[in-house]
Amino acid sequence: MKQLYIDFDGVILDTITYPYEYVGKSLGLEINSENMGKFYSELDWNQFLKKMPIINNSIECIERIIKSKQFEVSILTHVTTLDEAIEKVEYIRKYFKDITVIPVPRKISKTKMVYTEGAILIDDFAGNLEEWTEAGGIGIRFSTKLSSKGYPVIDYLDQILELELAV
């Protein structure tokens, strides 16, 4: 069974659109790692995750992927704070009792936390996918606009089952 890692932010929940709009438009700040890091570190993650929309039936799609038994599924997510990590784990546990959730400090590459060789990462951020493929993994870009940025692209998670990689 192939290892499949799924990103959280921008793939499972839309935790990116609102914060970027809020920091940029409402606060009038430049969108950069310092301002976004400050925003995320001060956020009430429990309330925030409850309000963020699920992207393209991602929870049901993950259920289908697990039921297919083609992949060993884990969630691999960057976090800014311990509170963020706790709340993301709690969020996933509401839906899946037996799935590994791996919080990764933002300053560390996802490739440093798990064995990447031959493993698949579904992520919306091309920078993560570039690091992943350079480390011997297989990168799949998640994009609701089907923007590939040079990677195979899907807009529903269960489309991984239809790719040649899935066999």
- Please give the structure tokens belonging to residue 127: 């920078």
Identify the burial level of 72 via C-beta atoms within 10 angstroms of its C-beta, where 0-12 means exposed, 13-18 middle and 19 or more buried: middle
In angstroms, the first-to-last Cα distance of the chain is 9
What residues does each domain of the chain span? Answer: 2-14+53-166, 17-51
The residue type of 4 is L
pLDDT at residue number 5: 98
Digitized pLDDT (tens) for each residue of the chain, 167 residues in all: 899 999 999 999 999 999 988 898 888 999 998 899 889 889 999 999 999 999 999 999 999 999 999 999 999 999 999 999 999 999 999 999 999 999 999 999 999 999 999 999 999 999 999 999 999 999 999 999 988 889 999 999 999 999 986 43
pLDDT at residue number 133: 97
pLDDT at residue number 8: 98
Domain spanning 2-14+53-166: CATH 3.90.340.10: no
pLDDT at residue number 144: 94
3-state class of 77 per DSSP? strand
